[in-house]
Amino acid sequence: MFRKFLLITTAVILLGVTAFYAFLYYATYSEGDRTGELIKFSSKGYIFKTWEGEISQGISGAQIFRFSVLDENAEVIQQLKDYQGQYVKISYIERYKTFPWWGDSNYFVIAVKTEKSPHLLK
């Protein structure tokens, strides 16, 4: 009797943990676009190396948008390296939580392109 209870309890816990991690992996909270000057993009971390970046959305750099990029998005990583210091438009998804091997931010960039800065004089 106790053995059956233990087996069922273990199965329920494993199913719950699996469902929780599947939810974190596949569910997104929001998605959108942001524009600004790409002021930082680097690979960092001791155990898990992740790609982290920042765009400045204000003239004085008072509004900073921090984001991460998954390793599987090699094209986006290369574009962000190339566009550093330029005005860019990034498309992102926001996740409820993140894993340590994904990055520090809940915002994950999925596409990037250069834009003309609205601050440039005509």
How does pLDDT run across 93-118, given as a tens digit for each residue? Answer: 999 888 888 888 999 999 999 988 77
Full-model pTM: 0.79
pLDDT of 104 reads 86
**Could you give the number of structural domains in the chain?**
1
- Structural domain range at position 94: 28-114
Residues 48-91 have pLDDT tens digits of: 899 999 999 876 667 899 999 998 999 999 999 999 989 999 99
What CATH number is given to the structural domain containing 38?
Answer: 2.40.50.140
pLDDT of 60 reads 64
Distance CA 37, CA 86 (A): 5
Residues with Cβ within 8 Å of 3's Cβ and at least 6 positions away in sequence, in order, are: none
Torsion of CA 58, 62, 67, 73, to 10 degrees: 40
In-domain check, residue 96? yes
Cβ(98)–Cβ(104) below 8 Å:
yes
In-domain check, residue 14? no
In-domain check, residue 2? no
pLDDT of 61 reads 61
